[in-house]
Amino acid sequence: MIDFLQNLQTEEHNFQEAFVSKRHAKVKTGQIPTSKDITGIEVRLSDVVIIDNKTPKVFPFPGLAKVYFINMILSDVGTTPITIDLNGFEKVDDNYKLSLDRTLFSWKQKANSTAEGPSQIHVFSSLIKSKQSLRDVAKIMADVKADKKFQGLADELATLLKKAGTVTNISSLVFELAGIVGGFLGKVEDKPLLTWVQSFTDLNGDFDVLGKTAKSAENKFASMKLSITIRDKGKN
């Protein structure tokens, strides 16, 4: 079983209660409009790098690794509050940048619409080293989504998001969902190279600073970056 609390980094914006793990930073950097004033939000992932793949180079073996990347995005807007992606990478060397630069979440207020933006966005990302040949990630995700326990937890989590559930309850379910996905990966290391949970919220009446804000997580095995771009009515 994968212990996602190992090599875990988390950061909260404007949450007043502690996260499920003690290994986190608490940041309050507000002073921007509430979600009623936001007209666009984009969260992007970039620069996912394996610094040390934990595979020794012993001749004639080149010391390459096989790595899975699990990513979950949760928000309280849209018809699909939870999205999960899984990617696999063969022959990963030390200091290798994975092809994962992408937009993870995007919301834009439609013209003449009064719909409010999200009040919370949670990003879960984890890099896991495989001990065997990589499995078909499309089949894994199909099996995961067909799993009854996964379906039940996903429904429960979606309800919590819509009701602005507490961070502790949401985070507990996120790790349970990740554990189900991990169970379909086959033989993998029980400690991820790096797991990162980043949360954004308007709980205190402010979401984050306007424009682009960069975030990063890093340990001795891996690193990755996130950025969130927020626009208000004056910057469409």
Report how far residue 73's alpha carbon sits from residue 75's, in angstroms, rounded to the nearest whole number: 7
Please calculate the CA angle 156-158-160 and round it to the nearest 5 degrees: 70
Q: What percent of the chain has pLDDT over 90?
A: 51
Cβ atoms within 10 Å, residue 178: 21
- What is the per-residue pLDDT for 26? 46
> Which pLDDT tens digit goes with each residue over 144-162?
999 999 999 999 988 888 7
Q: Which two tokens stand for residue 20?
A: 């499920």
> Which pLDDT tens digit goes with each residue over 98-115?
999 999 999 887 777 767
Report how far residue 35's alpha carbon sits from residue 201's, in angstroms, rounded to the nearest whole number: 9
Residue 230 and residue 207 in contact, taking contact as beta carbons nearer than 8 Å: yes
> Which pLDDT tens digit goes with each residue over 26-76?
444 444 445 566 778 899 999 999 999 999 999 888 999 999 999 999 988
Q: Which two tokens stand for residue 190?
A: 């029980």
Q: Which two tokens stand for residue 159?
A: 């309800």
**Cis omega (within 30 of 0) for bond into 56:** no
Cβ atoms within 10 Å, residue 175: 18
The full set of domain ranges for the chain reads 8-232
- What is the per-residue pLDDT for 188? 95
